[in-house]
Amino acid sequence: MKKILITGGAGYIGSHTAVELWNAGMEPIILDDFSNSQVEVLDRLEEITGKRFVFYRGDCSDKTLLHEIANAHQIQGVIHFAAFKAVGESTQSPLIYYKNNVGSLVILLEFMQEKGIKDLVFSSSCTVYGQPDVLPVTEATPRKEAESPYGNTKKIGEDILVDFVKSKAGVRVVALRYFNPVGAHPSAKIGELPIGTPQNLVPFITQTAAGIREKLTVFGNDYDTPDGSCIRDYIHVVDLADAHVKALHFLTDQPLNFYDVFNVGTGRGNTVLEVIHAFEAVNNLTLPYEIGPRRAGDVVKTWADTKKINQVLGWFPAYDLDACMRDSWRWQQFLMKG
Ligand code: WQD
């Protein structure tokens, strides 16, 4: 059975990807420092899959640990999730973002070369496009000036990978540019773990519905969109996880010194108000919200052109917005059971 090292594998997207890797007949080896995840996730993963995944607690910039893992397991690929990802925090503390997100990637690549590990799937983001001039966004859409140090670490990460591949390092790399990951595993045993006040829309919606937050503020309804609120491409986290599995399979058929990029979205855009109304309808509840001022740095509208990932990876989303809203709420209810 192929063993795949997942850095940040106990995190939101990492844990869902571990499940889909197992379902696809591969064995995840999880590395996580639990700075933005909880060790209990491993128990939940065992409940879902029946398998206790091997895991290592630590930082993916710890090369000694990386070698310890590779000496104990024949690692045949890496999925690199481990990174800080709070846009606002990155503006306050840019150096910890560059040190962690960029520094760790460099060390991970050195490790892969030292061990002869060829395949890497890199977690990138649609944030590299900024506000696209033309929609939907294709992989040929020019990247723009990053809106935040967080977004810049993703652009720099992609640039590092391009140069590393060009240096004939003998690796094969796919960068996946995520649009907006939302939702949770249908089992409601894993999902996005809220640490502090949620910055993202859907966790704030579910915490408001749960009474943890008094009301949701819609950050502006005077934009040039059908109902005035911003548009995003919300993709179910299980669909996103499946894209990583398909990317790994794709890499095994590629020559060495290979690099490619794929948008991972549904190809559909929804406004904030549409998301709120879908959440209310699917879960048969009323969400207290108010319209507030715009949030600085927000992209007005973005959604993916998914032709490339559809045709090249054979990947298509299985979940729609209603399923995302249903699963998000079921996860929040699981969390409230304590
Ligand atoms: C979505 C929409 C807000 C909260 C960020 C990162 C991106 C990626 C996904 C990691 C926007 C509106 C939000 C609220 C609101 N992260 N909103 N009230 O900003 O599109 O993307 O998360 O890869 O890199 O930038 O996601 O969920 O914060 O916002 O009205 O309380 O919801 O204005 O229009 P965003 P988001």
What domain range is 133 assigned to? 3-183+234-265
Does 17 sit in the ligand 1 pocket, CB within 6 Å? no
Q: Could you tell which of 295, 300, 324 is best to mutate to test the pocket of ligand 1, judged by most ligand atoms within 8 Å of the CB?
A: 295
Per-residue pLDDT at 62: 97
Q: Does 162 reside within a domain? A: yes
Of 189, 240, 234, whose CA–CA distance to 79 is shortest? 240
| Each residue's pLDDT tens digit, 131-142 | 999 999 999 999
Amino acid 33 reads D
Check if the beta carbon of residue 266 is closer than 8 Å to that of residue 137.
no
From start to end of the chain, where are the E strands?
A: 2-7, 26-32, 54-57, 75-80, 119-125, 172-178, 180-182, 216-219, 231-232, 234-236, 258-264, 270-271, 289-292
Cβ atoms within 10 Å of 311's Cβ, excluding its own: 9
Per-residue pLDDT at 35: 86
Q: Does 214 reside within a domain? A: no
Query: What value does the mean pLDDT take over residues 122-131?
Result: 96
Amino acid 170 reads G
Which residues on adjacent β-strands are paired with residue 213?
Answer: none
Task: Write out the catalytic residue numbers.
Answer: 150
Q: Could you tell which of 143, 180, 271 is best to mutate to test the pocket of ligand 1, judged by most ligand atoms within 8 Å of the CB?
A: 180
Helix axes 41-49, 12-23, angle to 10 degrees: 20
With a cut of 80, say whether residue 46 has pLDDT above it.
Answer: yes
Does 146 sit in the ligand 1 pocket, CB within 6 Å? no
Counted domains in the chain: 1
Residue 18's CATH number: 3.40.50.720
With a cut of 90, say whether residue 260 has pLDDT above it.
Answer: yes
- The pLDDT-based confidence of 36 (bands split at 50, 70, 90) is confident
Q: Does 328 reside within a domain? A: no
Q: What's the gap in Å between 279 CA and the centre of ligand 1?
A: 16
- The pLDDT-based confidence of 88 (bands split at 50, 70, 90) is confident
Does 240 sit in the ligand 1 pocket, CB within 6 Å? no
Q: What's the gap in Å between 49 CA and the centre of ligand 1?
A: 31
- The pLDDT-based confidence of 71 (bands split at 50, 70, 90) is very high
Q: Does 252 reside within a domain? A: yes
| Each residue's pLDDT tens digit, 98-113 | 999 999 999 999 999 9
- Which amino acid residue places its CA nearest to atom 34 of ligand 1? 230
Q: Does 323 reside within a domain? A: no
Query: What value does the mean pLDDT take over residues 255-271?
Result: 98
Cβ atoms within 10 Å of 107's Cβ, excluding its own: 15
Quick one: which atom of ligand 1 is closest to the CA of 295? 33
Tokens of 134: 């033309």
Contacts of 205-211 with C-beta under 8 Å, sequence gap 24+, read: 205/275, 205/276, 205/279, 205/287, 205/328, 206/279, 206/328, 206/329, 206/331, 206/332, 207/332, 208/287, 208/288, 208/289, 209/279, 209/283, 209/285, 209/287, 209/329, 209/332, 210/332, 210/333, 210/336
Per-residue pLDDT at 175: 98
Does 298 sit in the ligand 1 pocket, CB within 6 Å? yes
Does 301 sit in the ligand 1 pocket, CB within 6 Å? no
Does 217 sit in the ligand 1 pocket, CB within 6 Å? yes
- DSSP assignments along 168-210, one per residue: T-S-EEEEEEE-EEE---TTSSS-PPP-SS--SHHHHHHHHHT
Quick one: which atom of ligand 1 is closest to the CA of 231? 34
Q: Does 126 reside within a domain? A: yes
Per-residue pLDDT at 281: 98
Mean pLDDT computed over every residue of the chain: 97
Query: What value does the mean pLDDT take over residues 185-196?
Result: 93
- Which amino acid residue places its CA nearest to atom 28 of ligand 1? 200
Quick one: which atom of ligand 1 is closest to the CA of 147? 25
Q: Does 309 reside within a domain? A: no
| Each residue's pLDDT tens digit, 226-252 | 999 999 999 999 999 999 999 999 999
- The pLDDT-based confidence of 12 (bands split at 50, 70, 90) is very high
Enclosing H/E stretch for 13: helix 12-23
| Each residue's pLDDT tens digit, 214-228 | 999 999 999 999 999
With a cut of 90, say whether residue 174 has pLDDT above it.
Answer: yes
Scored b (16 or more CB within 10 A) or e, 133-166 reads eebbbebebebbebbbbbbbbbbbbbeebeebbe
Does 167 sit in the ligand 1 pocket, CB within 6 Å? no
Q: Does 287 reside within a domain? A: no
Instruction: Kindly report the backbone phi and psi dihedral angles of residue 328, in degrees, each rounded to the nearest multiple of 5, phi listed first.
Output: -65, -40
With a cut of 80, say whether residue 338 has pLDDT above it.
Answer: no
Q: What's the gap in Å between 201 CA and the centre of ligand 1?
A: 6
- The pLDDT-based confidence of 48 (bands split at 50, 70, 90) is very high
